[in-house]
Structure 1
Amino acid sequence: MTTQYLVTQIHKKQSFLCVGLDTDLDKIPKHLLELEDPIFEFNKSIIDATQKFCVAYKPNVAFYEAYGVKGWMALQKTVNYINENYPDIFTIADAKRGDIGNTSTRYAKAFFEDLNFDSITIAPYMGKDSVEPFLAFENKHTILLALTSNEGAFDFQTKSIDGLELYKQVIKTSQHYLGSENLMYVVGATKAEYLKDIREIAPDSFLLVPGVGAQGGSLKEVCNYGMNNQVGLLVNSSRGIIYASNREDFAEASKNKAEELQLQMKEELQKYKKSLD
């Protein structure tokens, strides 16, 4: 999917919501456990219920790998279901891969060709030759971890090197990678005040922003600091949507939460448009 097509979908749906499919068998409604593939059946119900209100889905691969072959098959069925039934929706493999040379190329083939995801999250610690193999795939997107929401982010990401914090170094350096037009960045919603500086370094890039909802991030602040002329944001909510209920009404509850966020996003988009007039 091209960036421009994603932007078109954002304006069409008046939403930049990404729903995180972090499916945990210990948290899904108990009646689903009786089914042959409870992970996929849960995901399918969530997708059908929320697809009108979001522009992206982001399965966290660890939640599938934890269940071995069955989990991996559920992941494949999930992304196939999205691609076949809702092809206008952007898919993100939250895999946080990162290795050098041929290994990165194999990871890229696994997620871009075999599973047919539109994008993948990448840990940039090993540098250019661990990132560029992903950028070589046409109309596929590489989402670098820049500034994350977790407590340990301050261990390294905000440390200064020659007067510039590491996360800024990552963003600035990666802008010169071959294929960098297909780069996006992960920036946690709980660090929304940092978005102003990030926008100075990467004014045109899309930012994947987790942490709105259960983690306490503010959508208003994220939009205030991070929105650009192409919107430039994919705001993710996982637990707050998919676990809105653990009863038989779980899909309807997820729909209501997704619609609630979409309406807030519509309001933010309208405010931004007025500020440009």
Structure 2
Amino acid sequence: MNKEQLFEQIKLKRSFLCVGLDTDILKIPRFLNETSDPIFAFNKEIIDATQDLCVAYKPNLAFYESQGVAGWISLEKTVRYIREKYPEQFIIADAKRGDIGNTSNLYARAFFDHMDFDAVTVAPYMGEDSIKPFMTYLDRWVIVLALTSNKGAADFQYLKNAETGEQLFESVLKTSQTWGTTDNMMYVVGATKAEKLEEIRELVPDHFLLVPGVGAQGGSLEEVAKFGMNDMCGLLVNSSRQIIYASDGEDFAEKARNEAINVQLEMEELLLEADLM
């Protein structure tokens, strides 16, 4: 999926919501444990209940890898289900990979050739050669970690270069733009760092931003849109726990839909205010 197609989906659905499929076997409704594949059964119901309200899904691979081979099977079934039933959806592998070139090439092959994701999150610490292999795929995306919302972000991401005065996350944004384009590269910017979005937009005005942290983590959607939106929206705002764990009963999918509707309606209002529909 290219940038224009993604923007068309945003306008069509009046939403820039990404639903995070952080599916924890210990948190899903217990009655699903009676099924042959509880994780996929949960994901399927969540997807069916929210697909018209969002433009993207983001499985966090840790929740699947923790289940070993069974988890990978659940993940593959989830991606295949979205591809076959809702092909307009943008699917992100939240994998945070990043390694030397030949290893990254194999990661890219796994996520793009074998599993058919649209995008994968990557860590830029090892530099250009660790990210370039992901960019050899047409209409696939690399989503570079830029400024995260966790407490430990302060350990490195705000460190200043003594010569340039740039903070590390600023150097990541500036340097990485020479590796890709606005058509194949996005950036992760945590919603709890909304005050930094205006500064980040000055550095990367035309790139899409994947913004986690809205909802259960306390990020403000209004602030994210105020500082982060551009003339193609330029935002995919992720919400995971607030939506998928709205209920632990048999009504879990219905409650998830209700939560997604609330987010979508707010997004629709923000898009209208920005004159993007």
| Residue matched to 2:74 | 74
Counterpart residue number, 1:155: 155
Q: Give the CA deviation at 1:180.
A: 6.1
Where in structure 1 are there 5+ consecutive unaligned residues? none
Structure 1 pair 153–137 and aligned structure 2 pair: CA distance change class (3 A): same
Q: Once structures 1 and 2 are overlaid, which stretch shifts more, 179-188 or 247-256?
A: 179-188
2:251 paired residue number: 249
The 2-side partners of 1:19 and 1:72 are apart by 19
Counterpart selection for 1:173 from 175, 181, 186: 175
- Provide the rounded CA distance (Å) in 1 between the counterparts of 2:5 and 2:167: 33
SS in 1 for 2:230: coil
Q: Map of 1:96-115 to 2, 5 A cutoff? A: 96-115=96-115
The normalised TM-score by structure 2 is 0.98
Please give the alpha-carbon distance, in whole angstroms, between the structure 2 residues aligned to 1:177 and 1:18. Answer: 25
CA distance in 1 between counterparts of 2:71 and 2:230 reads: 37
Shift of 1:178: 4.6
Q: Secondary structure at the match of 1:273?
A: coil
CA contact (8 A) 1:10 1:16 kept: yes
CA distance in 1, matches of 2:63, 2:25: 9
Note if contact 1:174-1:180 (Cα within 8 Å) is conserved in structure 2. Answer: no
Using structure 1 for the length normalisation, give the TM-score.
0.98
Q: How far apart are the structure 2 equivalents of 1:170 and 1:203?
A: 15
SS of aligned partner of 1:41 = helix
Q: Corresponding residue for 1:145?
A: 145
Gap runs ≥5 in structure 2:
none
Return the letter of the residue paired with 2:228: G
1:35 aligned partner? 35
Q: Is the 8 A contact 2:98 2:123 kept in 1?
A: yes
Could you list the runs of 4 or more consecutive aligned residues of structure 1 that deviate by over 3 angstroms after TM superposition? Answer: 178-181
Q: 1:90-138: per-residue Cα shift (whole Å, max 9, x none)? A: 0000000001111101000000110000000000000000011101111
Partner deviation per Cα, 1:57-91 (whole Å, 9 max, x = no partner): 00000100000000000000000000000000000
Structure 1 residue aligned with 2:118: 118
**What residue is the counterpart of 1:83 in the other structure?**
83
Q: Report if the CA contact (8 A) 2:2-2:183 is conserved.
A: no
**Does structure 1 residue 94 correspond to structure 2 residue 97?**
no
Query: What residue in structure 2 maps to residue 7 of structure 1?
Result: 7
The CA deviation string for residues 236-261 of structure 1, in whole angstroms up to 9 with x for no partner, is 00000000000000000000000110
2:43 partner amino acid: N
1:190 to 174, 189, 192: 192
- Is 1:221–2:223 an aligned residue pair? yes
Q: Distance in 1 between matches of 2:245 and 2:126?
A: 35
Which secondary structure does the structure 2 equivalent of 1:76 belong to? helix
Q: Which residue of 2 aligns with 1:65?
A: 65
In 1, the alpha carbon distance for the partners of 2:83 and 2:254 equals 22
Partners of 2:182 and 2:207 within 8 A in 1: no
Q: Is the 8 A contact 1:99 1:130 kept in 2?
A: yes
Quote the sequence identity (%): 61
Instruction: Report the alpha carbon displacement of residue 181 of structure 1 after superposing the two structures with TM.
Output: 3.6
CA displacement at 1:158 relative to structure 2 = 1.1
> How far, CA to CA, are the matches of 1:172 and 1:73 in structure 2?
38
**Aligned position for 1:270:** 272
